Structure 1
Protein backbone atom coordinates (compact mmCIF):
# COMPACT_ATOMS: atom_id res chain seq x y z
CA UNK A 1 0.00 0.00 0.00
CA UNK A 2 1.12 3.55 -0.66
CA UNK A 3 1.45 4.54 3.02
CA UNK A 4 3.89 1.67 3.63
CA UNK A 5 6.30 3.33 1.19
CA UNK A 6 6.53 6.33 3.50
CA UNK A 7 8.51 4.34 6.06
CA UNK A 8 10.41 2.04 3.69
CA UNK A 9 11.22 4.48 0.87
CA UNK A 10 10.18 8.11 1.38
CA UNK A 11 11.53 9.13 -2.05
CA UNK A 12 9.45 6.45 -3.78
CA UNK A 13 6.41 7.57 -1.78
CA UNK A 14 6.83 11.17 -2.96
CA UNK A 15 7.29 10.07 -6.58
CA UNK A 16 4.23 7.81 -6.60
CA UNK A 17 2.05 10.29 -4.68
CA UNK A 18 3.05 13.17 -6.97
CA UNK A 19 2.38 11.04 -10.07
CA UNK A 20 -1.08 10.11 -8.78
CA UNK A 21 -2.01 13.69 -7.88
CA UNK A 22 -0.75 14.96 -11.26
CA UNK A 23 -2.59 12.26 -13.18
CA UNK A 24 -5.91 12.65 -11.35
CA UNK A 25 -5.73 16.44 -11.68
CA UNK A 26 -5.07 16.39 -15.41
CA UNK A 27 -7.79 13.76 -15.87
CA UNK A 28 -10.46 15.92 -14.22
CA UNK A 29 -9.16 19.11 -15.85
CA UNK A 30 -9.51 17.43 -19.24
CA UNK A 31 -13.18 16.69 -18.53
CA UNK A 32 -13.78 20.28 -17.37
CA UNK A 33 -11.85 21.95 -20.20
CA UNK A 34 -13.57 19.86 -22.88
CA UNK A 35 -17.04 20.59 -21.49
CA UNK A 36 -16.20 24.29 -21.28
CA UNK A 37 -14.96 24.34 -24.87
CA UNK A 38 -18.08 22.52 -26.06
CA UNK A 39 -20.37 25.14 -24.53
CA UNK A 40 -21.22 23.87 -21.06
CA UNK A 41 -20.44 26.58 -18.44
CA UNK A 42 -21.10 24.23 -15.50
CA UNK A 43 -17.47 23.20 -14.81
CA UNK A 44 -16.26 26.82 -14.94
CA UNK A 45 -19.06 27.86 -12.58
CA UNK A 46 -17.78 25.30 -10.08
CA UNK A 47 -14.15 26.39 -10.53
CA UNK A 48 -13.04 23.17 -12.18
CA UNK A 49 -11.38 24.52 -15.33
CA UNK A 50 -8.04 24.65 -13.54
CA UNK A 51 -4.94 22.55 -12.93
CA UNK A 52 -5.05 23.34 -9.20
CA UNK A 53 -5.21 19.87 -7.51
CA UNK A 54 -7.15 21.29 -4.55
CA UNK A 55 -10.13 21.92 -6.83
CA UNK A 56 -10.22 18.31 -8.02
CA UNK A 57 -9.10 16.01 -5.20
CA UNK A 58 -11.73 14.32 -3.06
CA UNK A 59 -10.86 13.94 0.68
CA UNK A 60 -12.09 10.34 0.92
CA UNK A 61 -10.68 9.43 -2.50
CA UNK A 62 -7.29 10.86 -1.50
CA UNK A 63 -7.34 8.95 1.81
CA UNK A 64 -8.18 5.77 -0.06
CA UNK A 65 -5.29 6.55 -2.40
CA UNK A 66 -2.84 6.68 0.51
CA UNK A 67 -4.18 3.57 2.23
CA UNK A 68 -5.02 1.30 -0.68
CA UNK A 69 -2.92 2.69 -3.53
CA UNK A 70 -5.96 3.62 -5.61
CA UNK A 71 -8.54 6.32 -5.22
CA UNK A 72 -10.57 8.90 -7.07
CA UNK A 73 -11.02 12.61 -7.56
CA UNK A 74 -14.22 14.64 -7.41
CA UNK A 75 -16.27 14.13 -10.59
CA UNK A 76 -16.57 17.23 -12.75
CA UNK A 77 -20.19 18.46 -12.81
CA UNK A 78 -21.58 18.87 -16.31
CA UNK A 79 -24.99 19.50 -17.83
CA UNK A 80 -25.60 16.99 -20.65
CA UNK A 81 -28.41 19.22 -21.95
CA UNK A 82 -25.74 21.78 -22.89
CA UNK A 83 -23.56 19.18 -24.57
CA UNK A 84 -25.86 16.81 -26.41
CA UNK A 85 -25.14 13.15 -26.98
CA UNK A 86 -21.80 13.45 -28.77
CA UNK A 87 -20.57 16.31 -26.64
CA UNK A 88 -21.18 14.18 -23.56
CA UNK A 89 -19.23 11.35 -25.19
CA UNK A 90 -16.22 13.58 -25.86
CA UNK A 91 -16.28 15.04 -22.36
CA UNK A 92 -16.37 11.52 -20.90
CA UNK A 93 -13.55 10.33 -23.14
CA UNK A 94 -11.36 13.39 -22.48
CA UNK A 95 -10.11 12.14 -19.10
CA UNK A 96 -8.81 8.74 -20.26
CA UNK A 97 -7.42 10.29 -23.45
CA UNK A 98 -5.45 12.82 -21.37
CA UNK A 99 -3.97 9.98 -19.32
CA UNK A 100 -2.92 8.07 -22.44
CA UNK A 101 -1.27 11.23 -23.83
CA UNK A 102 0.65 11.73 -20.56
CA UNK A 103 1.76 8.08 -20.69
CA UNK A 104 3.01 8.52 -24.27
CA UNK A 105 4.83 11.74 -23.33
CA UNK A 106 6.48 10.01 -20.36
CA UNK A 107 7.54 7.20 -22.68
CA UNK A 108 9.06 9.63 -25.18
CA UNK A 109 10.96 11.43 -22.42
CA UNK A 110 12.16 8.08 -21.10
CA UNK A 111 13.52 7.25 -24.53
CA UNK A 112 15.20 10.54 -25.39
CA UNK A 113 16.29 12.11 -22.08
CA UNK A 114 19.74 11.25 -20.69
CA UNK A 115 19.27 8.12 -18.60
CA UNK A 116 19.52 8.01 -14.83
CA UNK A 117 17.93 5.66 -12.33
CA UNK A 118 15.96 8.50 -10.74
CA UNK A 119 14.65 9.88 -14.05
CA UNK A 120 13.68 6.41 -15.21
CA UNK A 121 11.85 5.70 -11.94
CA UNK A 122 9.89 8.96 -12.12
CA UNK A 123 8.93 8.58 -15.79
CA UNK A 124 8.00 4.90 -15.47
CA UNK A 125 5.84 5.73 -12.46
CA UNK A 126 4.05 8.50 -14.39
CA UNK A 127 3.65 6.23 -17.41
CA UNK A 128 2.25 3.26 -15.51
CA UNK A 129 0.01 5.42 -13.29
CA UNK A 130 -1.63 7.06 -16.28
CA UNK A 131 -2.15 3.78 -18.10
CA UNK A 132 -3.86 2.37 -15.01
CA UNK A 133 -6.12 5.43 -14.81
CA UNK A 134 -6.96 5.33 -18.52
CA UNK A 135 -7.79 1.62 -18.60
CA UNK A 136 -9.62 1.69 -15.27
CA UNK A 137 -11.82 4.63 -16.27
CA UNK A 138 -12.69 3.10 -19.64
CA UNK A 139 -14.36 0.09 -17.99
CA UNK A 140 -18.02 0.43 -19.07
CA UNK A 141 -19.57 0.16 -15.61
CA UNK A 142 -21.42 2.87 -13.64
CA UNK A 143 -19.45 5.65 -11.93
CA UNK A 144 -16.65 5.33 -14.49
CA UNK A 145 -16.10 7.24 -17.73
CA UNK A 146 -16.60 4.09 -19.76
CA UNK A 147 -20.24 3.87 -18.68
CA UNK A 148 -20.91 7.42 -19.84
CA UNK A 149 -19.23 6.74 -23.18
CA UNK A 150 -21.37 3.62 -23.54
CA UNK A 151 -24.43 5.60 -22.48
CA UNK A 152 -23.77 8.20 -25.17
CA UNK A 153 -23.41 5.47 -27.80
CA UNK A 154 -26.51 3.61 -26.60
CA UNK A 155 -28.88 6.21 -25.05
CA UNK A 156 -31.44 3.67 -23.77
CA UNK A 157 -28.68 1.85 -21.88
CA UNK A 158 -27.32 5.19 -20.68
CA UNK A 159 -30.57 5.95 -18.85
CA UNK A 160 -30.38 2.62 -17.03
CA UNK A 161 -26.75 3.20 -16.07
CA UNK A 162 -27.59 6.68 -14.76
CA UNK A 163 -30.39 5.24 -12.63
CA UNK A 164 -28.01 2.64 -11.22
CA UNK A 165 -25.44 5.33 -10.37
CA UNK A 166 -28.07 7.16 -8.32
CA UNK A 167 -28.51 4.16 -6.02
CA UNK A 168 -26.71 4.38 -2.64
CA UNK A 169 -25.20 0.89 -3.06
CA UNK A 170 -23.73 1.50 -6.53
CA UNK A 171 -20.25 2.40 -5.22
CA UNK A 172 -19.99 -0.84 -3.20
CA UNK A 173 -21.08 -2.97 -6.17
CA UNK A 174 -18.57 -1.29 -8.47
CA UNK A 175 -15.75 -1.82 -5.94
CA UNK A 176 -16.68 -5.50 -5.62
CA UNK A 177 -16.65 -5.88 -9.39
CA UNK A 178 -13.19 -4.32 -9.61
CA UNK A 179 -11.85 -6.62 -6.88
CA UNK A 180 -13.27 -9.69 -8.62
CA UNK A 181 -11.99 -8.61 -12.04
CA UNK A 182 -8.48 -7.65 -10.92
CA UNK A 183 -6.73 -10.26 -13.07
CA UNK A 184 -8.34 -9.44 -16.45
CA UNK A 185 -8.05 -5.71 -15.73
CA UNK A 186 -4.38 -6.22 -14.88
CA UNK A 187 -3.84 -8.13 -18.13
CA UNK A 188 -5.37 -5.28 -20.14
CA UNK A 189 -3.22 -2.72 -18.29
CA UNK A 190 -0.12 -4.79 -19.06
CA UNK A 191 -1.04 -5.01 -22.75
CA UNK A 192 -1.62 -1.25 -23.01
CA UNK A 193 1.67 -0.55 -21.24
CA UNK A 194 3.54 -2.79 -23.67
CA UNK A 195 1.80 -1.01 -26.57
CA UNK A 196 2.80 2.43 -25.27
CA UNK A 197 6.42 1.36 -24.73
CA UNK A 198 6.47 -0.18 -28.20
CA UNK A 199 4.92 2.93 -29.74
CA UNK A 200 7.76 5.12 -28.43
CA UNK A 201 10.41 2.56 -29.41
CA UNK A 202 11.35 1.18 -26.01
Structure 2
Protein backbone atom coordinates (compact mmCIF):
# COMPACT_ATOMS: atom_id res chain seq x y z
CA UNK A 1 0.00 0.00 0.00
CA UNK A 2 2.81 2.36 0.91
CA UNK A 3 4.63 1.51 -2.30
CA UNK A 4 1.56 2.23 -4.43
CA UNK A 5 0.96 5.54 -2.65
CA UNK A 6 4.59 6.56 -3.08
CA UNK A 7 4.50 5.64 -6.76
CA UNK A 8 1.36 7.73 -7.24
CA UNK A 9 2.96 10.77 -5.58
CA UNK A 10 6.08 10.35 -7.72
CA UNK A 11 3.92 10.80 -10.83
CA UNK A 12 1.56 13.51 -9.63
CA UNK A 13 1.85 16.67 -11.73
CA UNK A 14 3.65 19.36 -9.76
CA UNK A 15 1.80 22.52 -8.66
CA UNK A 16 4.82 24.44 -9.99
CA UNK A 17 4.20 23.11 -13.50
CA UNK A 18 0.46 23.66 -13.20
CA UNK A 19 1.14 27.26 -12.15
CA UNK A 20 3.37 27.86 -15.17
CA UNK A 21 0.75 26.29 -17.46
CA UNK A 22 -1.96 28.48 -15.92
CA UNK A 23 0.05 31.67 -16.45
CA UNK A 24 0.67 30.59 -20.05
CA UNK A 25 -3.03 29.97 -20.64
CA UNK A 26 -4.07 33.32 -19.13
CA UNK A 27 -1.41 35.14 -21.18
CA UNK A 28 -2.60 33.34 -24.34
CA UNK A 29 -6.16 34.46 -23.61
CA UNK A 30 -4.95 38.04 -23.05
CA UNK A 31 -3.15 38.01 -26.42
CA UNK A 32 -6.13 36.51 -28.23
CA UNK A 33 -8.67 38.93 -26.78
CA UNK A 34 -6.30 41.92 -26.77
CA UNK A 35 -7.24 42.29 -23.10
CA UNK A 36 -3.78 43.45 -21.96
CA UNK A 37 -2.98 47.17 -21.91
CA UNK A 38 0.19 46.33 -23.82
CA UNK A 39 -0.13 43.19 -25.94
CA UNK A 40 3.66 42.86 -26.04
CA UNK A 41 3.81 41.99 -22.33
CA UNK A 42 1.09 39.38 -22.81
CA UNK A 43 3.02 37.92 -25.76
CA UNK A 44 6.19 37.81 -23.65
CA UNK A 45 4.41 35.90 -20.85
CA UNK A 46 2.68 33.57 -23.30
CA UNK A 47 5.81 32.67 -25.28
CA UNK A 48 8.04 32.39 -22.19
CA UNK A 49 5.49 30.26 -20.35
CA UNK A 50 4.93 27.99 -23.36
CA UNK A 51 8.71 27.68 -23.83
CA UNK A 52 9.18 26.59 -20.18
CA UNK A 53 6.29 24.12 -20.57
CA UNK A 54 8.02 22.65 -23.63
CA UNK A 55 11.30 22.37 -21.71
CA UNK A 56 9.52 20.47 -18.94
CA UNK A 57 7.89 18.16 -21.48
CA UNK A 58 11.28 17.65 -23.16
CA UNK A 59 12.82 16.44 -19.91
CA UNK A 60 9.71 14.43 -19.02
CA UNK A 61 9.98 12.59 -22.35
CA UNK A 62 13.55 11.58 -21.54
CA UNK A 63 12.50 10.40 -18.08
CA UNK A 64 9.35 8.56 -19.13
CA UNK A 65 11.17 6.71 -21.90
CA UNK A 66 13.96 5.78 -19.48
CA UNK A 67 11.38 4.47 -16.99
CA UNK A 68 9.90 2.15 -19.62
CA UNK A 69 13.43 1.26 -20.70
CA UNK A 70 14.31 -0.10 -17.28
CA UNK A 71 15.45 2.76 -15.01
CA UNK A 72 12.95 2.39 -12.15
CA UNK A 73 14.68 5.12 -10.11
CA UNK A 74 13.26 7.88 -12.34
CA UNK A 75 10.06 8.33 -10.32
CA UNK A 76 11.82 8.78 -6.98
CA UNK A 77 13.89 11.62 -8.48
CA UNK A 78 10.77 13.62 -9.24
CA UNK A 79 11.27 13.73 -13.00
CA UNK A 80 7.76 12.47 -13.74
CA UNK A 81 6.09 15.37 -11.91
CA UNK A 82 7.06 17.89 -14.63
CA UNK A 83 8.50 20.09 -11.88
CA UNK A 84 11.35 22.13 -13.43
CA UNK A 85 12.93 22.45 -9.99
CA UNK A 86 13.52 18.68 -9.87
CA UNK A 87 15.82 18.44 -12.84
CA UNK A 88 19.46 17.75 -12.10
CA UNK A 89 20.63 20.73 -14.14
CA UNK A 90 18.00 23.36 -13.46
CA UNK A 91 20.33 26.09 -14.67
CA UNK A 92 21.04 24.31 -17.97
CA UNK A 93 17.55 22.88 -18.42
CA UNK A 94 15.41 25.93 -17.64
CA UNK A 95 17.25 29.14 -16.72
CA UNK A 96 19.81 29.35 -19.55
CA UNK A 97 17.35 28.39 -22.31
CA UNK A 98 14.96 31.11 -21.14
CA UNK A 99 17.79 33.67 -20.98
CA UNK A 100 18.92 32.84 -24.52
CA UNK A 101 15.36 33.13 -25.80
CA UNK A 102 15.16 36.59 -24.24
CA UNK A 103 18.57 37.61 -25.59
CA UNK A 104 18.50 36.30 -29.12
CA UNK A 105 15.47 34.21 -29.93
CA UNK A 106 17.38 30.91 -30.08
CA UNK A 107 15.83 27.72 -28.74
CA UNK A 108 18.85 26.62 -26.73
CA UNK A 109 18.86 22.93 -25.74
CA UNK A 110 18.74 22.24 -22.02
CA UNK A 111 20.56 19.73 -19.84
CA UNK A 112 19.18 16.18 -19.64
CA UNK A 113 17.80 14.43 -16.59
CA UNK A 114 20.13 12.03 -14.78
CA UNK A 115 19.46 8.52 -16.04
CA UNK A 116 21.07 5.39 -14.64
CA UNK A 117 22.08 3.93 -17.97
CA UNK A 118 23.45 0.74 -16.41
CA UNK A 119 19.87 -0.32 -15.66
CA UNK A 120 18.90 -0.16 -19.33
CA UNK A 121 19.68 -2.99 -21.71
CA UNK A 122 19.73 -2.64 -25.48
CA UNK A 123 21.23 0.00 -27.73
CA UNK A 124 17.88 0.90 -29.30
CA UNK A 125 16.47 1.77 -25.89
CA UNK A 126 19.39 4.08 -25.13
CA UNK A 127 19.01 5.82 -28.49
CA UNK A 128 15.27 6.24 -28.04
CA UNK A 129 15.73 7.77 -24.59
CA UNK A 130 18.03 10.42 -26.05
CA UNK A 131 15.77 11.06 -29.04
CA UNK A 132 12.60 11.41 -26.95
CA UNK A 133 13.42 14.95 -25.80
CA UNK A 134 14.01 16.66 -29.17
CA UNK A 135 11.12 14.67 -30.67
CA UNK A 136 8.95 16.46 -28.12
CA UNK A 137 10.16 19.78 -29.55
CA UNK A 138 9.26 18.52 -33.03
CA UNK A 139 5.76 17.65 -31.82
CA UNK A 140 5.44 21.05 -30.13
CA UNK A 141 6.49 22.74 -33.40
CA UNK A 142 3.84 20.77 -35.28
CA UNK A 143 1.17 21.93 -32.82
CA UNK A 144 2.31 25.56 -33.13
CA UNK A 145 2.35 25.49 -36.91
CA UNK A 146 -0.85 23.46 -37.46
CA UNK A 147 -3.04 26.60 -37.85
CA UNK A 148 -0.66 27.79 -40.59
CA UNK A 149 -1.24 24.60 -42.61
CA UNK A 150 -5.00 24.31 -42.48
CA UNK A 151 -5.89 27.94 -43.03
CA UNK A 152 -6.72 28.21 -39.35
CA UNK A 153 -5.46 31.79 -39.32
CA UNK A 154 -8.74 33.31 -40.48
CA UNK A 155 -10.15 35.15 -37.51
CA UNK A 156 -6.97 34.70 -35.49
CA UNK A 157 -5.71 37.98 -33.97
CA UNK A 158 -2.42 39.17 -35.46
CA UNK A 159 -0.68 39.19 -32.08
CA UNK A 160 -1.53 35.56 -31.42
CA UNK A 161 -0.42 34.56 -34.91
CA UNK A 162 2.93 36.27 -34.52
CA UNK A 163 3.41 34.75 -31.05
CA UNK A 164 2.79 31.26 -32.48
CA UNK A 165 5.22 31.95 -35.31
CA UNK A 166 7.97 32.98 -32.90
CA UNK A 167 7.25 30.03 -30.61
CA UNK A 168 7.48 27.70 -33.61
CA UNK A 169 10.89 29.23 -34.42
CA UNK A 170 12.11 28.40 -30.91
CA UNK A 171 10.89 24.82 -31.13
CA UNK A 172 12.46 24.19 -34.53
CA UNK A 173 15.83 25.63 -33.46
CA UNK A 174 15.73 23.57 -30.24
CA UNK A 175 14.97 20.37 -32.16
CA UNK A 176 17.74 20.94 -34.71
CA UNK A 177 20.37 21.92 -32.14
CA UNK A 178 19.44 19.00 -29.90
CA UNK A 179 19.74 16.50 -32.76
CA UNK A 180 23.28 17.60 -33.64
CA UNK A 181 25.67 14.65 -33.07
CA UNK A 182 27.80 16.70 -30.69
CA UNK A 183 28.95 15.29 -27.33
CA UNK A 184 26.71 16.60 -24.57
CA UNK A 185 23.67 16.96 -26.86
CA UNK A 186 20.87 14.48 -27.43
CA UNK A 187 21.96 13.83 -31.00
CA UNK A 188 25.20 12.34 -29.75
CA UNK A 189 23.25 10.32 -27.20
CA UNK A 190 21.33 8.76 -30.09
CA UNK A 191 24.47 7.50 -31.85
CA UNK A 192 26.67 6.89 -28.79
CA UNK A 193 25.38 3.34 -28.07
CA UNK A 194 26.46 2.33 -31.57
CA UNK A 195 30.03 3.62 -31.22
CA UNK A 196 32.96 1.52 -30.05
CA UNK A 197 34.01 1.67 -26.42
CA UNK A 198 37.32 3.26 -27.44
CA UNK A 199 35.65 6.13 -29.29
CA UNK A 200 33.20 6.75 -26.44
CA UNK A 201 36.07 6.98 -23.95
CA UNK A 202 37.95 9.42 -26.17
CA UNK A 203 34.91 11.67 -26.64
CA UNK A 204 33.68 11.59 -23.04
CA UNK A 205 35.96 14.39 -21.66
CA UNK A 206 34.57 16.83 -24.26
CA UNK A 207 30.90 16.27 -23.45
CA UNK A 208 30.62 19.15 -20.91
CA UNK A 209 31.82 21.62 -23.56
CA UNK A 210 29.67 20.45 -26.48
CA UNK A 211 26.83 22.90 -25.96
CA UNK A 212 29.21 25.82 -25.46
CA UNK A 213 31.09 24.90 -28.63
CA UNK A 214 27.85 24.80 -30.64
CA UNK A 215 26.81 28.19 -29.33
CA UNK A 216 30.18 29.76 -30.17
CA UNK A 217 30.13 28.28 -33.68
CA UNK A 218 26.61 29.60 -34.29
CA UNK A 219 27.87 33.11 -33.48
CA UNK A 220 30.20 32.96 -36.51
CA UNK A 221 28.42 35.19 -39.09
CA UNK A 222 28.68 32.74 -41.99
CA UNK A 223 27.47 29.78 -39.92
CA UNK A 224 24.73 31.89 -38.34
CA UNK A 225 23.41 32.90 -41.76
CA UNK A 226 23.35 29.31 -43.04
CA UNK A 227 21.72 28.07 -39.84
CA UNK A 228 18.90 30.60 -39.86
CA UNK A 229 18.41 30.22 -43.62
CA UNK A 230 17.77 26.53 -42.93
CA UNK A 231 15.39 27.42 -40.09
CA UNK A 232 13.52 29.86 -42.35
CA UNK A 233 13.24 27.20 -45.06
CA UNK A 234 11.78 24.67 -42.62
CA UNK A 235 9.34 27.18 -41.18
CA UNK A 236 8.40 28.32 -44.66
CA UNK A 237 7.57 24.73 -45.55
CA UNK A 238 5.32 24.65 -42.49
CA UNK A 239 3.55 27.83 -43.58
CA UNK A 240 5.25 30.23 -41.15
CA UNK A 241 6.62 33.31 -42.92
CA UNK A 242 9.54 35.53 -42.02
CA UNK A 243 6.97 38.22 -41.25
CA UNK A 244 5.38 35.99 -38.59
CA UNK A 245 8.64 35.25 -36.79
CA UNK A 246 9.99 38.80 -37.20
CA UNK A 247 6.87 40.39 -35.75
CA UNK A 248 6.65 37.73 -33.07
CA UNK A 249 10.13 38.52 -31.84
CA UNK A 250 9.41 42.27 -31.97
CA UNK A 251 6.37 41.78 -29.78
CA UNK A 252 8.23 39.42 -27.45
CA UNK A 253 11.05 41.90 -26.77
CA UNK A 254 8.71 44.50 -25.29
CA UNK A 255 11.58 46.26 -23.50
CA UNK A 256 13.13 47.31 -26.81
CA UNK A 257 11.94 50.41 -28.63
CA UNK A 258 9.28 49.76 -31.26
CA UNK A 259 10.62 49.08 -34.71
CA UNK A 260 9.37 51.43 -37.44
CA UNK A 261 8.21 48.40 -39.40
CA UNK A 262 4.46 47.92 -38.90
CA UNK A 263 3.50 44.28 -38.32
CA UNK A 264 0.15 43.50 -39.88
CA UNK A 265 -3.05 45.42 -40.31
CA UNK A 266 -3.47 45.84 -36.57
CA UNK A 267 -0.39 48.03 -36.55
CA UNK A 268 1.25 46.09 -33.74
TM-score category by the smaller chain?
0.7 to 0.9
- Cα distance change on mapping 1:18 and 1:170 into 2, 3 Å: same
Give the whole-Å Cα distance in 1 for the aligned partners of 2:73 and 2:202.
Answer: 24
Deviation at 1:8? 10
Return 19-28 or 169-178, whichever deviates more: 169-178
C-alpha displacement at 1:195, in angstroms?
3.4
The 3-state SS of whatever aligns with 2:64 is helix
* Equivalent pair of 1:135/1:188 in contact (CA under 8 Å): no
Match of 2:132 in 1: 94
TM-score (norm 1): 0.77
The alpha-carbon distance between structure 1 residues 172 and 74, as it changes in their structure 2 partners (threshold 3 A), is closer
Instruction: Indicate whether 1:143 and 2:184 are aligned.
Output: yes
> Is the Cα contact below 8 Å between 1:103 and 1:196 reproduced in 2?
no
Note closer, same or farther for the CA distance 1:170–1:131 as it changes in structure 2 (3 Å cut). Answer: closer
C-alpha distance in structure 2 between counterparts of 1:196 and 1:40, whole Å: 37
Q: Which residue number corresponds to residue 96 of structure 2? A: 61
SS of aligned partner of 1:49: helix
CA RMSD, 1 decimal: 2.9
TM-score, normalization by structure 2? 0.60
Determine which structure has the larger helix proportion and give its number: 1
Q: What is the CA–CA distance in structure 1 between the aligned matches of 2:139 and 2:124, rounded to whole Å?
A: 21
CA contact (8 A) 2:178 2:187 kept: yes
C-alpha distance after superposition, 1:125-146 (max 9, x if no partner): 3322211110111111122111
Q: Measured at CA, do residues 122 and 54 of structure 1 come closer, stay the same or move farther in structure 2, by a change above 3 Å?
A: farther
- The question of whether the paired residues in 1 share the 8 Å contact of 2:183 and 2:207 is answered with yes
1:81-105 deviation digits (Å, cap 9, x = unpaired):
2223221110111111111111112
The unaligned stretches of length 5 or more in structure 1 are 1-6
Paired residues of 1:19 and 1:125 also in contact (CA < 8 A): no
1:48 deviates by: 0.9
> How is 1:18-29 mapped onto 2 (pairs within 5 angstroms)?
18-29=49-60
Q: Which residue of the other structure, out of 78, 84, 91, is the alignment partner of 2:115?
A: 78
Q: In structure 2, list runs of 5 or more residues that go unmatched.
A: 1-37, 241-268
Give 3-state SS (helix, strand or coil) of 1:197's partner: coil
Q: Which secondary structure does the structure 1 equivalent of 2:182 belong to?
A: coil
User: Which residue of structure 2 lines up, in the alignment, with residue 176 of structure 1?
Assistant: 216
Q: Which residue of 1 aligns with 2:245?
A: none
CA contact (8 A) 1:147 1:158 kept: no
- Which has the higher Rg, Structure 1 or Structure 2? 2
Alpha-carbon contact 1:164-1:170 (below 8 Å) kept: yes
For 1:106 and 1:176, the matched residues in 2 are separated by: 28
